[in-house]
Structure 1
């Protein structure tokens, strides 16, 4: 979880300490007085030291030292000690127990103990008598949800806190910034649904809506903000305007006519470069770009910088290969030029330039999309099948890591090394082997032929294949014959790796019923521009699957240029591309939402599957605990 900066945390806790009947937190003068009244010489102790010293004392001295430890823990962001100090103070009659529990909730939230923090905050709901406590309680509730990237739930509590603060003239440090940050994560549709309630809430929402609608339109945004300020005088959102909104007035879309494209023009990746080049040239027909310069991305940095300088490109697209993206972090030309890389970087620190964007055909996007659908369908025990390779293991690991945020069960995982052991892996996972052993045992007992049928395990409710097109066609029959006829048919899913336009020309019958994700460009009837599809088929009828996907990627990349700033600044905004519905969620990385399709009666049909955002596990547990206490 991203921690607040230290000054903000101190401000937040200082506000909480200022609550009506809250005991005064020890000041510097208190520390000096305490030091001079002890027999030991004056010493500078940190939170840990003060807490340990408090445990060696009794009575008033212990309480005073615990206050000092609590304040030091806040200053140092030492959340474990803050929680321990609060726990010790809990047993003291003179302590404001509501305030102390609010401190404890904050400490747990900062340690990512979200379920525990929310559970504690819920126990306080009937004990909140002071407006100060009520306002801070709602703010902390919101901050727990915000830390889990749940801005809609966070805003419900943030707005409650803001209304209380406005009514009772309270100052909740950090609240306005957090409201604004949460609003920035909402789509225009979500903002519309929040545009109701109190004047404070409506003012915030309308400010966010103006920001979205007029972002990049300097004159219109300025006029809209003036109108907003006249309508919502003395609104707390006014403090956001000079720091957050006015800084975006110059965010006009990139308007470029000269671009440079870095792509492989030699070596083993040359054919990939040709496919990209075809996509860029095709996109120029409907784009304002007038000149495009192609540069070999395999050149060294100095040579690339020289050619970029000669081209005077206003925007750079590429390179494609990750190693070359990493290499160009040292480019002096790119340091001051906006760029859209056709891959991403593993190191977050390298993603620092606000004018650099990353567009990769990452299979992880598909894995997350499948996981979201499984959770929306209520699947409890999916079975994952992947090749025993570095890529297969990486995707399985990614699925498991995401799945564990939402489910207590673990998916069943099987890795196959080749076509020969696929049947064995499937049989073991479905426990068909055990069923066969039981049948053989019974046959030996009765010493005669018996009618029998193997049974597979009944808890597997979905199967997800992460193999390529050939592997998927080999696995599907094994799955069909190993699932018991007594059980419901287990739905089968796969990634785009399972789909091949080339193989499908002659063989798709064995995949009946299989659902899979794929970029719209590869699916019949999935893209709006059928004329582009027809032209491509005429010009390059024999292009491989990877070449077709790269063509679509290049086409989207060029058309993204005038849209990309808006995508990075307006959450929920989508670009409907050949490679999917494109959005930017964080770190200027483009995320893809692919199309769902299914093999049906020897054809491929587009389908719409449930993609509701899942509920985090800690919220499920909290709800169950709450219901049990009622």
Structure 2
């Protein structure tokens, strides 16, 4: 729907009140078609008007008949429309507002008219958010109208995922209070790093909030340090709402009682079919343990680790095994996590190595051990990566429980964030038809629809997908999705018509700007050359191919890097070149020279679990805090899930090269 002045028309008014206004004010409505408006549910401040809409309409008639005062007449009509909107009588409000828009109003009433029209159509599928925002510009300079316009802008900007823009608008429309500060604080925390960086440069209103965010992020792992920093912060920003009504999470983080783990129970499968998996994680835990022990000062006691084999143990047996421990790492299996998480004694800190309520993985998956698994043997997807959509399925965590998983869906969601935030509009998603890759495709699609939902005003955003089972179906799917097959057909038709051989190169779709791959390393090696062969060289642009860590295997020969040329992918820092743990890597390679790629990731998982444990209370209180880990930059969200932000790399000249931060890096959560 076009909300410009030339297109805002309405049907002949049948409402008695509106007809009286138009007759009395000398306005002759045009008889054109108009769609009924939707009921507005916008939560914006309302204006107090003592009269009823009907009495205001009568006053408008009198103002015109007695004095021919168009300004006063229109002011009364706007008051009436405002009251109709507040009473959710949108049809009556529409009749008045579109009549005024059609006939035109004087400058002093125009800002309010546009605001009420934006309020009327807010949430309407046919009115784009950008059109609504244009109606709210320019803002009123002061007073109630400015406050109301900012409140409406905030709801629209929040819908557009402009989190800092929404936060600024709320800050300028809401009265300072505990609730308003918490609302603004939540939006600042939800913003991407680039949004916060831009707001730091452009928004004086948000700078105190941004300063508090940086303070919580840098000092949050030390409650004592955070407490000292807040004293100085309150001196600098004395009188500001964020200082007067300090966010509860920041206060809680500063008041935490620090307690270092002394005795830790570790629940892992150390024998049976999953013994190798659990043992590798144990080796990572012990490596971190010995690194910490070597740095102890004289008189300091090392942590006591007690490993408990979870094989064939019931939930009751696991609870008995950890009785008396205040710090617990594990268990690894989802069913064990679900069996004990609601029965953990108060005061016990549980860092589970999986998430609960996960979507069950299918059979016959490729596990991280690299072996084809039969239906009675769980893959690692059934163990550490069986996370499903954690944002919706994860039960609310207690203050002592966090959930750490190498969930493939997390990487797919990160890719969707990156693709969206870097302006890609028409990606093609290519996924192998097995359970784990389909889960990643679902996670990507769900996040993509969420991010683009504001553009379609609640409608589903079309996303091109290709699913394949073998090389033939892969090639067919790629050519069809890129319209290469149709290009071949057009060439053949022209050749038939002119009876002459054409030396033309088939052209692909020009709108495709990215290829997203969810497939095994072997499948990705086949796919990438197919994509390159299917892309037309005429526009001089390349279409980047993006993948997750599950598409990369470091155990093969260098021939794989040739086939993966220009593929961008996410992976743990531990697996990428030039990371900060070179000494640990050398020691690990000397001890376990034949360790596979997948087992190396499990080793890193164990290292991070050990290092994360003592910081868990602070990180749960303050989601801004982060830990630089082998498996990614770690934080803990409000659901208690450990979030891993992974760096991005690219295959170039048959080698893995890190991409710099910023545009090339996957944004944070």
TM-score, L = length of structure 2: 0.68
Structure 1 counterpart of 2:444: 399
Structure 1: distance between partners of 2:99 and 2:529: 69
Among 243, 258, 264, the alignment partner of 2:263 is 258
Partner of 2:402, secondary structure, is strand
Structure 2: distance between partners of 1:200 and 1:430: 47
Structure 1 counterpart of 2:317: 303
Is residue 181–residue 247 contact of structure 2 (8 Å, CA) maintained in 1? no
Alignment RMSD: 4.4
**What pairs with 1:288-367 in structure 2 (closer than 5 Å)?**
290-298=303-311, 299-309=313-323, 312-333=324-345, 336-346=347-357, 348=393, 350-367=395-412
Partner of 1:287, secondary structure, is helix
Among 623, 628, 637, the alignment partner of 1:576 is 628
Aligned CA distance change for structure 1 residues 199 and 234 (closer, same or farther; 3 Å): farther
Aligned CA distance change for structure 1 residues 287 and 90 (closer, same or farther; 3 Å): farther
Partner of 1:527, secondary structure, is coil
**What pairs with 1:146-185 in structure 2 (closer than 5 Å)?**
146=158, 150-161=162-173, 174-184=179-189
Q: Cα offset for 1:222? A: 5.3
Aligned CA distance change for structure 1 residues 217 and 487 (closer, same or farther; 3 Å): closer
Is residue 343–residue 360 contact of structure 1 (8 Å, CA) maintained in 2? yes
Partner deviation per Cα, 1:9-29 (whole Å, 9 max, x = no partner): x9x87xx34x5x633799xxx
Matching of residue 608 in structure 1 with residue 660 in structure 2: yes
Is residue 546–residue 569 contact of structure 2 (8 Å, CA) maintained in 1? yes
Matching of residue 271 in structure 1 with residue 285 in structure 2: no
Structure 2 counterpart of 1:431: 483
Structure 2: distance between partners of 1:530 and 1:612: 22
Matching of residue 22 in structure 1 with residue 33 in structure 2: no
Aligned CA distance change for structure 1 residues 591 and 352 (closer, same or farther; 3 Å): closer
Aligned CA distance change for structure 1 residues 133 and 328 (closer, same or farther; 3 Å): same
Partner deviation per Cα, 1:204-226 (whole Å, 9 max, x = no partner): 66666665555475666556555
Structure 2: distance between partners of 1:279 and 1:116: 52
Structure 1: distance between partners of 2:485 and 2:99: 62
Range moving further from structure 2, 564-573 or 389-398: 564-573
Structure 2 counterpart of 1:6: none
Structure 2 counterpart of 1:386: 431
Aligned CA distance change for structure 1 residues 292 and 498 (closer, same or farther; 3 Å): same
Range moving further from structure 2, 295-304 or 240-249: 240-249
Structure 2 counterpart of 1:518: 571
Aligned CA distance change for structure 1 residues 461 and 291 (closer, same or farther; 3 Å): same
Structure 1: distance between partners of 2:202 and 2:475: 60
Structure 1: distance between partners of 2:548 and 2:249: 40
Range moving further from structure 2, 463-472 or 300-309: 463-472
Q: Cα offset for 1:413? A: 1.4
Structure 2: distance between partners of 1:517 and 1:253: 34
**What pairs with 1:481-630 in structure 2 (closer than 5 Å)?**
481-484=533-536, 486=538, 488=540, 489-504=542-557, 507-523=560-576, 525-608=577-660, 610-611=663-664
Aligned CA distance change for structure 1 residues 112 and 205 (closer, same or farther; 3 Å): farther
Partner of 1:265, secondary structure, is coil
Q: Aligned residue pairs: how many?
A: 542
Is residue 254–residue 561 contact of structure 1 (8 Å, CA) maintained in 2? no
Structure 2: distance between partners of 1:425 and 1:607: 30
TM-score, L = length of structure 1: 0.72
Aligned CA distance change for structure 1 residues 473 and 572 (closer, same or farther; 3 Å): same
Q: Cα offset for 1:306? A: 0.6
Partner of 2:172, secondary structure, is helix
Structure 2: distance between partners of 1:498 and 1:530: 24
**What pairs with 1:57-206 in structure 2 (closer than 5 Å)?**
70=86, 81=88, 119-120=131-132, 123-125=135-137, 128=140, 131-146=143-158, 150-161=162-173, 174-184=179-189
Structure 2: distance between partners of 1:432 and 1:191: 42
Q: Cα offset for 1:430? A: 3.0
Q: Cα offset for 1:580? A: 1.7
Long gaps (5+) in structure 1: 1-9, 27-62, 72-80, 166-170, 615-630
Structure 2: distance between partners of 1:194 and 1:265: 50
Partner of 1:279, secondary structure, is helix
Aligned CA distance change for structure 1 residues 235 and 260 (closer, same or farther; 3 Å): same
Q: Cα offset for 1:440? A: 4.6
Partner deviation per Cα, 1:532-588 (whole Å, 9 max, x = no partner): 111111211222222111110111111112333443444554322111222334412
Aligned CA distance change for structure 1 residues 322 and 598 (closer, same or farther; 3 Å): same
Structure 2: distance between partners of 1:242 and 1:467: 43
Q: Cα offset for 1:308? A: 0.3
Is residue 558–residue 654 contact of structure 2 (8 Å, CA) maintained in 1? no
Range moving further from structure 2, 204-213 or 595-604: 204-213
Q: Cα offset for 1:280? A: 0.6
Is residue 162–residue 191 contact of structure 2 (8 Å, CA) maintained in 1? no
Aligned CA distance change for structure 1 residues 108 and 216 (closer, same or farther; 3 Å): farther
Is residue 187–residue 571 contact of structure 1 (8 Å, CA) maintained in 2? no
Aligned CA distance change for structure 1 residues 342 and 114 (closer, same or farther; 3 Å): farther
Partner deviation per Cα, 1:327-358 (whole Å, 9 max, x = no partner): 2234334x541112222234646233122112
Q: Which has the higher helix share?
A: 1
Aligned CA distance change for structure 1 residues 492 and 228 (closer, same or farther; 3 Å): closer
Structure 1: distance between partners of 2:127 and 2:665: 22
